[in-house]
């Protein structure tokens, strides 16, 4: 329900009456065609190009498992070793390749984290403050400049 004050407000009454005379704006002629084409396109997309919730269930489970393995390896929470009998087979060979890759991923992430900590520890307060201030200044000046350009070129007065 609308507030009763509009019924007493002549400006509100006038606006309501005038605006309700505006006709429905016709959609672009090719809107329906575009929507249908997009639906056809999406229907033929392979599973890996669709959003994750629309993947087949088996693929969802496998991807979740893969993600868990990668995260576990990256953060160093015990990588299982497949050495003995499995390494003799072709599957074992690929498993070892995958584990080698995860090992190297873990090594890289560990070294990056260590160097970051080392650099931050040796950074003086002044340098850190200057760097942070510069970042903030750049951010706000970009935002401000963009807002100014937009208001000058686009916003109605």
Partner 1 sequence: MSDPAQFETFLVAYQDMVYSTAYRLLSQEAEARDVSQEVFLRAWQHWDQLSGSPTAGGWLKTVTRNLCINHLQRYRARWKFFSDLKSADAPDDEPGLEATFAAPETLDSDLLNADQRGVLEEAMTKLPTDQRVALVLYHFEDLDYVDIANRLGVSLGKVKTDIHRARLALYKRLQPRRDELGV
By beta-carbon proximity to partner 1, the closer residue of 16 and 76 is 16
Q: Counting contacts by CB under 8 A, is residue 12 touching partner 1?
A: yes
Q: Counting contacts by CB under 8 A, is residue 26 touching partner 1?
A: yes
Q: Counting contacts by CB under 8 A, is residue 45 touching partner 1?
A: no
Q: Counting contacts by CB under 8 A, is residue 27 touching partner 1?
A: yes
Q: Counting contacts by CB under 8 A, is residue 14 touching partner 1?
A: yes
- Neighbouring CB atoms inside 10 A of 41's CB total 9
Residues numbered 61 to 90 that lie near partner 1 (CB under 8 A) are none
Is residue 63 a contact partner of residue 69, using CB atoms and an 8 Å limit?
no
Query: Nearest approach, Cβ of 141 to partner 1 (angstroms)?
Result: 13
By beta-carbon proximity to partner 1, the closer residue of 14 and 75 is 14
Which two tokens mark 7?
């019924």
Distance CA 18, CA 21 (A): 5
Query: Nearest approach, Cβ of 55 to partner 1 (angstroms)?
Result: 15
Query: Nearest approach, Cβ of 155 to partner 1 (angstroms)?
Result: 7
Which two tokens mark 103?
């090992």
Q: Counting contacts by CB under 8 A, is residue 17 touching partner 1?
A: yes
With vertex at residue 13, the alpha carbon angle to CA 8 and CA 16, rounded to the nearest 5 degrees, is 145
Q: What are phi and psi of 103, to 5 degrees?
A: -60, -45
- Neighbouring CB atoms inside 10 A of 70's CB total 15
Which two tokens mark 73?
């390896």
Interface with partner 1 by CB under 8 A: which residues?
Answer: 1-3, 9-28, 31-32, 34-36, 38-39, 42, 143-144, 146-147, 150-151, 155-156
């Amino acid at each position: 329900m609308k507030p009763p004050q509009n019924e007493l407000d002549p400006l509100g009454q006038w606006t309501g009456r005038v605006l309700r005379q505006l006709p429905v704006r016709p959609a672009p002629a090719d809107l329906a065609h575009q929507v249908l084409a997009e639906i056809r396109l999406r229907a033929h997309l392979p599973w890996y190009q669709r959003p994750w919730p629309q993947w087949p269930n088996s693929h969802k489970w496998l991807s979740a498992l893969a993600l868990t393995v990668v995260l576990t390896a990256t953060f160093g929470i015990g990588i299982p070793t497949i050495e003995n009998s499995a390494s003799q087979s072709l599957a074992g060979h690929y498993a070892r390749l995958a584990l080698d890759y995860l090992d190297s991923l873990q090594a890289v992430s560990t070294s990056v984290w260590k160097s970051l900590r080392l650099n931050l520890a040796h950074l003086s307060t002044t340098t850190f403050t200057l760097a942070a201030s510069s970042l903030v200044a750049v951010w706000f000046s970009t935002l401000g400049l963009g807002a100014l350009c937009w208001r000058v070129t686009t916003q109605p007065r």
